Amino acid sequence: MTQRIDFQTDPSRYRHWRVDHDGEVAYLSMDVDEKGGLFDGYELKLNSYDLGVDIELADIVQRMRFEHPEVKVVVLRSGKEKVFCAGANIRMLGGATHAHKVNFCKFTNETRNSLEAAEADSGQKYIAAVKGACAGGGYELALACNHIMLTDDGASSVALPEVPLLAVLPGTGGLTRVTDKRKVRRDLADIFCSMEEGVKGKRALDWRLVDEIVPNAKFDEAVAARAKDFAAAAPKPAAEGIELGPIARRLGADGAISYSLVEVALDRDGRKATITVSGPDAAAPASVDELVAQGDRSYLLRLARELDDAILHLRFNELELGLLVFRSQGDPDAVLAQEAVLLANADHWLANEILAYWKRVLKRIDLTARSLVALVEHGGCFAGVLAEILWAVDRSYMMEGDFEGDNRPTARIKLSAANFGRYPMSNALTRLETRFLGEPEAVGKLKDKMGEDLDAAAAAALGLVTFTLDDIDWEDEVRIFMEERASFSPDAMTGMEANLRFAGPETMETRIFGRLTAWQNWIFQRPNAVGETGALQRYGSGVRGAYNMQRV
């Protein structure tokens, strides 16, 4: 699995999904092409999925929000008879490297979360219309929808058979959503998660595993009626969407990538990638109408898409780069002006979508298992939404005072109102609230500084950056840090950062990415799952896994 994985797609290239529109309701049909696997060595039978299937789904969810704001309800159903979805493809998992398994699970988790975010942030509700077997990752997909309808045909069931069948966990949020979203009683959850055959009909309803059961003859009709009910009750205003065209991306020598606003430079020997974000290349739209007219060319939307693509690319395709360095260059006031248009029109659908997309992109950065550092240099534009990057990273370095031969404007940070609530982390706190958990009064003080130029001395005094360094120390200190970081065990870094980044309260999201993912990663290392006689390797051979029975 060494080919470059591309996260960009569009409807003309979909192989696994079909979207049909009926006014306020969209029907999303999963109809996986068996021969359409991203890699060789497996067939995507029974609507099982691999990363390629999920990349299309993520694209659909994203386009539904930007291109089809008129849609209030999305019905997720199967395009095949007798099977809803059999979950992640087991042969794919069995053949995948540990790193790919972990990255795959994280991306699919992020996509599942985006289904829930669509309702929470944009009023687009997902209904799972389950006919046929709905197992493992298939049921996890249904769990990510906010309403599950199951046909009562005596055969269709929901199931999480991973534990008995494969000796791994339902790791795409399954265990967490069963206990914390569906709030299934824990002994019933224990039974459900340790049976292969799943639960049907009334029992599925009684156990809270689904929201409705419907006689099979009336199923399609009932689903359509329910979708119309939900649509009628949704407050989402009607609007016409914008088109998300292809992003501008040019691959350079040695893995470098140039987007229109983002540059990615690699230093393979130093095991790091530097991501430089540019400030606006045009004036802010004068009105929300102009924003709509700019569409996917508008600065903050374009930047979000490019940054998102860069992060995903580095996660999957550049495994040995342990450190991501964030830089920015541009006019901080111009960044604030772009963001101000969105904030002033936050009740307009497109402004709302762009702000909500930034929330997701910033969470994607928080959840990236690489060491993250930001360099606040002269000429930089870490302002408003871009300043969030400074508190998403593990530490930051800021230039202080004049640097010889450097005529760029002195390094500064600027805060906006959006830093105080628009971009919460997975723990539901803002990055500033998380940062100042020990001195919450510091957040209040920062509110008085909105819009001010905060130079190194001010930023240090306010606790906004980790180090401020002058011309004499800058180069050496930054270099020494990066060299040291590159020498540490990548595993220890991943574990440490996963623990340090999310202080404070926990949410379903942090539980999925923290607790559930960590246990799954552990199991993905254990011989009982991935060893020669482990259940994942033996799946489909007719022979059960042979286990070392020691409990850990």
| Interaction of residue 538 with a second copy, rule CB under 8 A | no
Contact region with a second copy (CB under 8 A), list: 34-42, 338-346, 378-386, 540-548: 540-548
**Closest of 338, 322, 319 to residue 330, by C-alpha:** 338
**Closest of 309, 305, 306 to residue 353, by C-alpha:** 305
- DSSP, collapsed to helix, strand or coil, labels residue 321 as coil
Nearer to a second copy, 38 or 175 (CB): 175
| Interaction of residue 191 with a second copy, rule CB under 8 A | yes
**Closest of 107, 42, 49 to residue 80, by C-alpha:** 49
| Interaction of residue 495 with a second copy, rule CB under 8 A | yes
| Interaction of residue 122 with a second copy, rule CB under 8 A | no
| Least gap, CB of 170 to a second copy (angstroms) | 8
| Interaction of residue 501 with a second copy, rule CB under 8 A | yes
| Least gap, CB of 369 to a second copy (angstroms) | 6
**Closest of 131, 165, 126 to residue 143, by C-alpha:** 126
- Binder among 62, 78, 298, 396 for a second copy (CB under 8 A): 396
For 141, the enclosing helix (H) or strand (E) is: helix 137-144
# binding residues, a second copy (CB under 8 A): 93
Q: 193 near 119, Cβ under 8 Å?
A: no
- Binder among 245, 409, 491, 543 for a second copy (CB under 8 A): 491
Backbone phi and psi for residue 5, each to the nearest 5 degrees, phi listed first: -95, 130
Q: 64 near 26, Cβ under 8 Å?
A: yes
| Interaction of residue 504 with a second copy, rule CB under 8 A | yes
| Interaction of residue 511 with a second copy, rule CB under 8 A | yes
- Binder among 20, 34, 190, 470 for a second copy (CB under 8 A): 190
Over the window 264 to 283, marking each residue x when it contacts a second copy by CB under 8 A and - when it does not, the resulting string is -------x------------
Q: How far apart are CA 506 and CA 517, in angstroms?
A: 14
Q: How far apart are CA 22 and CA 426, in angstroms?
A: 33
- Binder among 197, 202, 489, 543 for a second copy (CB under 8 A): 489
- Report residue 493 as tokens: 């870094």
Q: What is the 3-state secondary structure (H, E, C) of 69-133?
A: CCCCEEEEEECCCCEEECEECHHHHHHCCHHHHHHHHHHHHHHHHHHHHHHHHHCCEEEEEECCE
The four Cα atoms 110, 111, 112, 113 give a dihedral, to 10 degrees, of: 50
| Interaction of residue 1 with a second copy, rule CB under 8 A | no
Which 12-51 positions form the footprint of a second copy (CB under 8 A)? none
| Least gap, CB of 505 to a second copy (angstroms) | 7
The amino acid that residue 303 corresponds to is L
Which 419-478 positions form the footprint of a second copy (CB under 8 A)? 434-439, 463, 466
| Least gap, CB of 514 to a second copy (angstroms) | 4
Nearer to a second copy, 73 or 523 (CB): 523
- HSE-up (13 A, CA, CB side) for residue 217: 0
Over the window 297 to 336, marking each residue x when it contacts a second copy by CB under 8 A and - when it does not, the resulting string is ----------------------xxxx--------------
Query: Crossing angle of helices 98-122/137-144, nearest 10°?
Result: 20
Contact region with a second copy (CB under 8 A), list: 73-81, 285-293, 354-362, 513-521: 513-521
| Interaction of residue 104 with a second copy, rule CB under 8 A | no
| Interaction of residue 503 with a second copy, rule CB under 8 A | yes
Pairing of strands 25-30, 48-49: unpaired
- Binder among 1, 9, 33, 99 for a second copy (CB under 8 A): 99
- Binder among 288, 460, 506, 533 for a second copy (CB under 8 A): 506
The amino acid that residue 509 corresponds to is E
Which 356-375 positions form the footprint of a second copy (CB under 8 A)? 369-370
| Interaction of residue 551 with a second copy, rule CB under 8 A | yes
| Interaction of residue 293 with a second copy, rule CB under 8 A | no
427 DSSP 8-state letter = T
Nearer to a second copy, 164 or 201 (CB): 164
**Closest of 4, 34, 3, 1 to residue 16, by C-alpha:** 34
Which 130-189 positions form the footprint of a second copy (CB under 8 A)? 162-164, 166-169, 175-176, 178-180, 182-189
The four Cα atoms 428, 433, 439, 445 give a dihedral, to 10 degrees, of: -140
| Least gap, CB of 432 to a second copy (angstroms) | 11
CB atoms within 10 A of CB 484: 9
| Least gap, CB of 521 to a second copy (angstroms) | 5
| Least gap, CB of 457 to a second copy (angstroms) | 17
